[in-house]
């Protein structure tokens, strides 16, 4: 779609504080992101991200995953509610659920996630500690299309940070998060402008397939 016609309609999914959600709200407000957030969903009714959204005048819905008998039942309800907003793009912003294949397929090519490592390194949890323990000189964050392979979809954009002597997982996470707040709205903006697509399991930017790590962001 083109940013010159109507803004890209987003639905954003959160489980926690929603700091990446805030970066989208801020990007829309300052004009760097040509999008509207139609709704924010959480699987945790008390997630602060819902409060952030409400404070910004965005519709919110809490669908408590503990009230469903199976992952499939929860995802089916979540899809039903998301689809009622007819989003162009679905954003996972700290949504701490492993999604079913049916959910992922329903949003093929329009479902993004951000992961706190330089994928394909360290999919899954505890990424910063794993990078420190391995003696890596750098870590970072990766925005990627979501596919059925956990944290395995094609990378769109990465930002690296240096691992300093004395870093802990917590100090590293804070520095990586500042990069996340830059690169995640950027990826959404490329999508909104019609420049970013998923084709045959390849991320395509400006008609060119991206490399395995995606576009490398530098300050």
Q: What is the CA 47 to chain-centroid distance, rounded?
A: 17
CA distance 130 to 118: 12
Q: Report the 10 Å Cβ neighbour count for 47.
A: 24
Catalytic residue among 115, 128, 144, 181: 115
144 is catalytic: no
Q: Report the 10 Å Cβ neighbour count for 6.
A: 12
CA distance 178 to 197: 25
CA distance 157 to 142: 6
- For the chain, report the end-to-end CA distance as a whole number of angstroms: 28
- Which residues are annotated as catalytic? 115
């Amino acid at each position: 779609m083109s940013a010159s016609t109507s803004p890209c309609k987003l639905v954003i999914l959160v489980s926690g504080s929603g700091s990446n959600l805030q970066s989208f709200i801020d990007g829309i407000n300052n004009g760097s992101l040509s999008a509207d957030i139609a709704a924010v969903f959480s699987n945790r009714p008390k997630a602060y991200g819902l409060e952030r959204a409400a404070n910004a005048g965005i519709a919110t819905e809490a669908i408590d995953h503990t009230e469903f008998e199976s992952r499939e039942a929860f995802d089916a309800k979540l899809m039903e509610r998301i689809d009622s907003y007819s989003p162009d793009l679905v954003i996972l912003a700290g949504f701490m659920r492993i999604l079913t294949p049916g959910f992922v397929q329903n949003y093929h090519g329009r479902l993004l996630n951000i992961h706190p490592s330089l994928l394909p390194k360290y999919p899954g949890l505890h990424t910063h500690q794993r990078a420190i323990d391995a003696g890596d000189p750098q870590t970072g964050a990766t925005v990627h299309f979501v596919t059925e392979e956990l944290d395995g979809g094609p990378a769109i954009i990465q930002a690296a940070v240096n691992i300093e002597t004395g870093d802990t997982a917590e100090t590293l996470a804070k520095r990586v998060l500042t990069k996340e707040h830059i690169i995640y709205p950027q990826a959404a903006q490329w999508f909104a402008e019609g420049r970013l697509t998923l084709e045959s399991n390849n991320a395509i930017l400006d008609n060119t397939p991206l490399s395995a790590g995606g576009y490398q962001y530098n300050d």
